[in-house]
Amino acid sequence: MRSNRQRINRLSPAALASKPPRVATIESLDQEGRGVTHVDGKVIFVEGALPFEQIKFVSYHVKSTYEVATTVEVLKPSSQRVVPRCEYYGVCGGCAMQHLEFSAQVAAKQRMLEDDLWHIGRVKAEKILPPIQGTPWQYRHKARLRVRYVEKKGGVLVGFNEKATSYVTFMDSCQVLPKPLSDLIVPLKTLIAQLSVKQSLPQIEVAVGEEATVLVLRILEALEPEDLPHLQAFEQAHGVQLWTQTKGPDTVKPLFAHDKGLHYSLPEFGLRYPFNPLEFTQVNPAINRVMLRRAMQLLQPQAHERIADFFCGLGNFTLPIARSGAQVYGVEGAQALVKRAVENATLNGVSNVEFAESDLFDMTAELLQGLGRFDKWLIDPPRDGAIELVKALPDAGADHAHIAPQRIVYVSCNPSTLARDAAILTQAKGYVLKAAGVMNMFPHTAHVESIAWFERS
């Protein structure tokens, strides 16, 4: 999903150095992992600062009600401050919290979730679930790398954007990408510099499966015949697959033939999921497996039940639910993902599922009633949440309230929209928030993934 965050015009290092720093004590962290303080009645968001630290800062974005600043010196450091592992940290926009000890990052995300639930939704969970957390490094199996040919900087740049700018970070490695992929950044620069399209190749989509790694080159001009030997030699040298994308997602295709494709598996449920490199899959496969286990523990699917999986994607939750014997109805707005979900169900021999294409952001009470009654729901929406879906549920005490599911398990990638939807569920629809907790799907970023269990009272 696209961020609605306002772009910040960062000052140059020389301009920052020319401004006199101010001193403040940090009070808390905001939703983007920045320190928060108040100076002369104005809120200041300070990058690189932690709660209870005394710091010197310089503001580079000043408005009438707030400022955005960067830390120039830590006078009294937090006990939770650590030395960032990545040499590009602070410039690269891929991570925001490497200066905070790993377990403290998870605790901060739990506080963000609880704060949003209360301040936005006016709801508290009866139980806080233990956080799901995995390895802090080399976890990211999907990424979008930016590419830019800049002759003044020595040629080709490959990496993430610099913080709050459209510039590409000068980097030769990445600590959150799997090491074989991190090791490809420098060879990729060399490869792209040899291509005729080096100035018309703005990004590379990366997808790592269990038996293959695919790099999708987004090209704005057709390759020349002399490009192909360079590309084929790169594949053979590094054991990856190079694909191209010239326009929309339907133009994605491999450059050369391969005998293995992308897939991930869920051994606990005996499932295997082939996928296209641009199709949505979780970036952190280890956390995905634990997330599935927790979702099943909360949902408790039974063989006699009819269960809906809304925003089902390629069936990541649908097929594990179906392994219980329940009749499962998966709904997804993207036609290509519905097709993939049907293929995955067939591949895995799962017949007690049905998939439908529907825009869940246009859901109405009438449409929802037309689907019939479900015993339980699982919801896994994008960052916008599932407001139209939860609003379509009958109000508590309504004549047709019996069609509402007894239990809802809500997987969220945005605590603020979860909190908004939780307010509707608990204040109008007759549900109680039984439990909620975070899942650290994106270590070292401020991204908060969470799971919540609602029960109809």
- Same domain, yes or no, for 147 and 115? no
Last residue of a domain, one of 232, 254, 276: 254
Task: Give the pLDDT score at 259.
Answer: 92
Query: CA geometry: angle at 86 spanning 56 and 25, to 5°?
Result: 20
Structure tokens at 241: 């697959």
Does some domain include residue 104? no
- Same domain, yes or no, for 297 and 382? yes
User: Would you call 447 helix, strand, or coil by DSSP?
Assistant: coil
Task: Give the pLDDT score at 15.
Answer: 59
Annotated binding residue at 245?
no
Residue 3: Cβ-neighbour burial (10 angstroms; 0-12, 13-18, 19+):
exposed
Annotated binding residue at 4?
no
Active site residue 312: no
Rounded distance between C-alpha atoms, residue 360 and residue 424, angstroms: 17
- Same domain, yes or no, for 330 and 202? no
**For residue 383, pLDDT beyond 90:** yes
Q: What is the CATH number of the domain that holds 235?
A: 2.40.50.1070
User: Would you call 366 helix, strand, or coil by DSSP?
Assistant: helix
**For residue 4, pLDDT beyond 80:** no
Per-residue model confidence as pLDDT tens digits over 170-200 = 999 999 999 999 999 999 999 999 999 999 9
- Same domain, yes or no, for 309 and 427? yes
Average pLDDT over the chain reads: 94
- Same domain, yes or no, for 424 and 343? yes
Does some domain include residue 271? no
Does some domain include residue 446? yes
Last residue of a domain, one of 81, 101, 122: 81
Rounded distance between C-alpha atoms, residue 377 and residue 413, angstroms: 17
Does some domain include residue 155? yes
Strands (E), 151-284: 155-159, 203-208, 213-218, 241-245, 253-254, 263-266, 271-274
Q: What is the CATH number of the domain that holds 289?
A: 3.40.50.150
- Same domain, yes or no, for 70 and 45? yes
- Same domain, yes or no, for 230 and 292? no
- Same domain, yes or no, for 346 and 249? no
Rounded distance between C-alpha atoms, residue 158 and residue 171, angstroms: 7
Annotated binding residue at 312?
no
Per-residue model confidence as pLDDT tens digits over 328-362 = 999 999 999 999 999 999 999 999 999 999 999 99
- Same domain, yes or no, for 33 and 177? no
Q: What torsion, rounded to 10 degrees, do the Cα atoms 300, 303, 304, 306 define?
A: 70
Per-residue model confidence as pLDDT tens digits over 242-257 = 999 999 999 999 999 9
Rounded distance between C-alpha atoms, residue 456 and residue 419, angstroms: 17
Does some domain include residue 302? yes
Q: What is the CATH number of the domain that holds 36?
A: 2.40.50.140
Does some domain include residue 262? no
- Same domain, yes or no, for 59 and 152? no
Give the number of domains in the chain: 3
- The residue from 413, 422, 433, 441 that is catalytic is 413
Q: Under the phi-then-psi rule, with left for phi > 0, alpha for psi from -120 to 50, and beta for the rest, what region is 340?
A: alpha
Does some domain include residue 101? no
Q: Which domain holds residue 74?
A: 13-81
**For residue 147, pLDDT beyond 70:** yes
Last residue of a domain, one of 81, 99, 124: 81
- Same domain, yes or no, for 65 and 128? no
In the chain the first and final C-alpha atoms are separated, in Å, by 34
- Same domain, yes or no, for 146 and 130? no
Annotated binding residue at 183?
no
13 or 175, which is more confident: 175
Does some domain include residue 299? yes
Annotated binding residue at 30?
no
Q: What is the mean pLDDT of residues 36-44?
A: 95
